Structure 1
Amino acid sequence: MSEQTTLAQQFPAGFVWGVATSAYQIEGAANEGGRAASIWDTFSHTPGKILDDSNGDVACDHYHRYAEDVEHIANLGLDAYRFSVSWSRVQPDGRGAWNEEGMAFYARLISALAEKNISAHMTLYHWDLPQALQDDGGWLNRDTAYHFAQYAREMAARFGDQLASIATHNEPWCTANLGYGNGQFAPGVKDEVAALQVSHHLLLSHGLAIQAMRTQNKKAKLGIVLNQWTADPATDSAADHAAAAWEYARSVQWFMDPIFRGHYPALALAKIDQSRFIVLPGDMEVIHQALDFLGINYYFRAYVSTETPPRQPETKLGLTDMGWEIYPEGLSRLLIGIHQEYKDLGLPPIYITENGMAVADQLDGEQIHDTPRIDYMQRHFQEVAKAIEAGVNIKGFFYWSLLDNFEWNSGYLRRFGLIYVDYVSQRRIWKDSAIWFKGFVQRFRGRVG
């Protein structure tokens, strides 16, 4: 029996295998079909913000090539596709009139998936706020949370019976801390106090959106997607342990506790200026909504050192092309820890909604031999299987990403895809990892011995 077959047999029947993308990273057609600008259009067209001075105007041209991309998903033999909606494509100003041409694009995409028996998993917000809302303060403006709830209600009303799931946000930690904390992402604000307030408004918008979508009584499961990591002290020193606990509180628990406990973690609150952190009466009750699923994105751990300079991990498996430590065992430890901490607090079934590796892929004729990515996938699949064996209720895994794409402030310099994209010709070429993943899923389904 092959190693691939042995690994595949560790997952329960009905486990969902899929791939994920996001709108701004692949769609292109930035100025077509009634779409208005988002904050990423503005940010990527600002000199010096993107490493290769590129933008998402064309990206993978998925807007025009969606049928081809759905065919690739089907040929991979996958069950599911996770994608996000460009808010400014369906509602250009983030409020007011709906853009029917934009809505029609997502209707066509969802129909194409259904024709191939691929379940559709929609994310409402993957960082691309309509610029019109940013002009009024963006996520620092509490009103944005209410506009988001109206948008969520409309998308659920139109598509909720055709979708397997709807996630409110993808990685609100990034929206707050990279968008408003250090300015690395759009809208490029550098204000840690603002980042805290933004995180609250994001969570408030999540709760309001869940409430709004529930009123539509649709089939789609409702949840949120959070990026998470373990926080490991570099040494056994009390200082490193305290710093690691703080890191976990300000990142993972900062979002999990309001959702599942109805309050922010005390350890994190103790270290912020609460006089500048505005939480209105009733906010926490709104955020504390029952969920049908929790999406977890995992790429690396936090390795916490209080030494100067900080001690670095040994990186036994090396680094990805993003410079991130490859640390698969952190995934099982994270999942088991989350299960133990929140299982009695309404923790719903979990999906691994993103996990993947950037590799400096090179074309070899018409092939891409991305052996490191295959090894990465195998190791992380093993850790998911380990967590399932330990009792964690994990229902599926979405690899990031289907396609090479616009990798935010890295532009087109980093490649995460199972499928190589030649950005000039828009040719799609399967990497060895795509071929491996197809074989793995076939073995999971028992079609191959």
Structure 2
Amino acid sequence: MSFPSEFTWGAAAAAYQIEGAWNVDGRGPSVWDTFSQTAGKVFENHNGNVACDHYHRWREDIGLMKQLGIKAYRLSLSWSRILPQGTGEVNEAGLKFYDDLINGLLEAGIQPWVTLFHWDLPQALQDQGGFTNPAIADWFGDYATIVAKRLGDRVNHWMTINEPPVILGLGYQDGVFAPGLKLSYAECLAAAHNLLRAHGKGVQALRANCVGPQQISIAHTSREPIPASDSPADIEAARARYFGCVAENMWNLAWWADPIVLGRYPEDGLERFKEHLPTITDADMKLISEPIDYLAYNCYSGYKVKAGADGVAEVITDGHGIGNPRGTLPWLSIAPEAIYWAARWQTERYKLPLVFSENGFCNTDFVHRDGKVHDSQRIEFMHHYLTAIGKAIDDGADVQGYFYWSIMDNFEWAEGYKDRFGIVHVDYQTQVRTPKDSFYWYRDLIARGGQLD
């Protein structure tokens, strides 16, 4: 199996998870600084104060990326490093850091794919309500304008916001991620609408201020139902569940994607959530549906469903089988069929090319006595998922890229440094980087154009 010659092979990381330097060179605090520095919020009270010290070691890290042979690197910007108060005065040192980083990537032959916002909202804006404040749309638009004017002559691939379901679901509804709120469903839906409006303002700012043609998206995620069999009934039941809006949580993919691509909220969600809906205007929907160029999607795992007697999907307990291989985080069962169906169904529904902006495996990797990191399980994970992507492409899905999550071990949010996703091992005591076996496997795969054995 091989991939198209123009396929984008990449790796990814996010600012708060790797940069460190949390209070260096004028950077302001973000909600994740506040959250992780609050006792009891993160595993063993870890925080991102130092993380991988990428802020000081980015040249070394680009050297590893060049050795890996990736064509693209997905990074995010720290909003509060650029605008310490979220709005107002620009921190020149913060912009210069990203200037230098992007120049270094381009010199190494690596295209930067930039995410404007990956969860680390400036604390100053959270103090004004964060995404519950309708003004967030203008705040984000102004921030995107500053970034586009400074970096948009060299960056051509953008994602506005990473994983809205996590921002609102885990951060505003469940309270287990920053900013740690537990709001009503009506308040969460209003914040979600504000987030989508912010995305639209971001798209407008990028279009107006970047140089040359731009490729713009938003990085979505969801929970992937997998049909239990190849029967048309099971497939249609799983598809309907994937795009259905029935649960009072933030994980309904179509609630986020339909307004952006199709210009409307899903009818079933409007009916199901009618008692909780914010005011939705035609002007809002026009803003939210500013055209995007591709779908970015983060996919890790899934769960099996079958069609019930009424055709509605039923979740199969232990659908993968007792003892199915999994990562160290409880939600990461190895289920490559999830990425196949995500590719098929999204490209069919939204008629846009798709890039998998995250996919990865977490484990408790360590340096062995021979000085190497042997992570054969990660290699098997990548092989299975890439095989599934290749099959989806063969079956008509327009998948144009893959970004492994992540380039290096890093701060895994509320799990701290316990779980390792990287293909480069990081010793957090010494900051020594050690490429894992999976690094060399991925390097060789890229070099032979994605040819899987």
TM above 0.5, yes or no, is yes
| Equivalent pair of 1:246/1:267 in contact (CA under 8 Å) | no
Equivalent in the alignment of 1:312: 318
Q: C-alpha separation between the residues in 2 aligned to 1:276 and 1:25?
A: 34
Counterpart selection for 2:344 from 329, 336, 342: 336
1:144-183 to 2 correspondence within 5 Å? Answer: 144-183=136-175
Query: Does residue 403 in structure 1 map to residue 395 in structure 2?
Result: no
Q: Amino acid of the residue matched to residue 207 of structure 1? A: G
Tell me if structure 2 keeps the 8 A contact 1:232–1:303: yes
Q: Residue 67 of structure 1: CA displacement?
A: 0.3
Equivalent-residue separation in structure 2 for 1:269 and 1:301 (angstroms): 26
> Quick one: distance in 2 between partners of 1:193 and 1:296?
26
User: 1:43: which partner in 2?
Assistant: 35
Q: Does the Cα contact within 8 Å between 1:43 and 1:186 map onto a contact in 2?
A: yes
Q: Which residue of 2 aligns with 1:3?
A: none
Match of 1:225 in 2: 219
CA drift at 1:56:
0.2
Match of 1:424 in 2: 429
Q: Deviations over 1:60-103 (max 9, x none)?
A: 00000000000000001111110000000000111111100000
| 1:118 maps onto 2:110 in alignment | yes
**1-side partners of 2:210 and 2:362: how far apart?**
39
Query: 2:173 & 2:316 partners in 1: Cα distance?
Result: 21
Cross-structure match for 1:199: 192
Distance 1:73 1:124 in 2: 21
Q: Identify if the C-alpha distance between structure 1 residues 282 and 274 changes in structure 2 by more than 3 Å, giving closer, same or farther.
A: farther
Following the alignment from structure 2 to structure 1, what is the Cα–Cα distance between the partners of residues 173 and 363?
28
Aligned pair partner of 2:244 in 237, 243, 249 = 249
**Deviation at residue 302 of structure 1 after TM alignment:** 4.2
Q: Deviations over 1:8-37 (max 9, x none)?
A: xx1011111110000000000001010000
1:361 aligned residue (351, 355, 365)? 365
Distance in 2 between the 1:272 and 1:326 partners?
Answer: 33
- Please give the secondary structure, in 1, of the residue aligned with 2:209: coil
Secondary structure at the aligned position of 1:81 is classed as strand
Q: CA 1:252–1:113 in 2, change beyond 3 Å: closer, same or farther?
A: same
Partner of 1:136: 128
Contact 2:226–2:238, Cα closer than 8 Å, also in 1: no
Q: How far apart, in 1, do the equivalents of 2:364 and 2:411 lie?
A: 15
Question: 66-75 or 291-300: which moved more?
Answer: 291-300
Q: For the aligned residues, what is the CA RMSD?
A: 2.6
In structure 1, the gaps of 5 or more residues are 1-6
Instruction: State the distance in 1 between where 2:179 and 2:130 align.
Output: 9
1:339, distance to aligned residue in structure 2 (A): 1.7
Contact 1:404 1:416 in 2 (8 A): yes
Q: AA paired with 1:284?
A: M
Structure 2: runs of 5 or more not aligned? 246-251
Distance 1:253 1:309 in 2: 19
Number of residue pairs aligned between Structure 1 and Structure 2: 434
Q: Which residue of 2 aligns with 1:282?
A: 283
TM-aligned CA distance change 1:154 to 1:309, over 3 Å: closer
Inter-partner Cα distance in structure 1 for 2:314 and 2:238: 14
| Contact 2:298–2:358 (CA under 8 A) maintained in structure 1 | yes
- Alpha carbons of 1:234 and 1:117: their partners in 2 closer, same or farther (altered >3 Å)? closer
Amino acid at match of 2:328: D
Find the counterpart in structure 2 of residue 299 from structure 1.
300
TM (norm. structure 1) is 0.91
Q: Which moved more, 1:376-385 or 1:274-283?
A: 274-283
Identity rate, percent: 40
Paired residues of 1:22 and 1:85 also in contact (CA < 8 A): yes
Residue 433 of structure 2: SS of its match in structure 1?
Answer: strand
- Asked if the contact 1:229/1:334 (under 8 Å) is kept, the reply is no
Deviation of 1:217 after TM superposition, in Å, equals 4.5
Q: Residues of 1 paired with 2:149 and 2:314: CA distance?
A: 54
> Counterpart of 2:254 in structure 1: which amino acid?
Q
Q: Is the 8 A contact 2:325 2:334 kept in 1?
A: yes
Q: How far does the alpha carbon of each residue in 1:235-270 deviate from its partner, in whole angstroms, 9 at most, with x for none?
A: 99x9xx989845642321111110111111111222
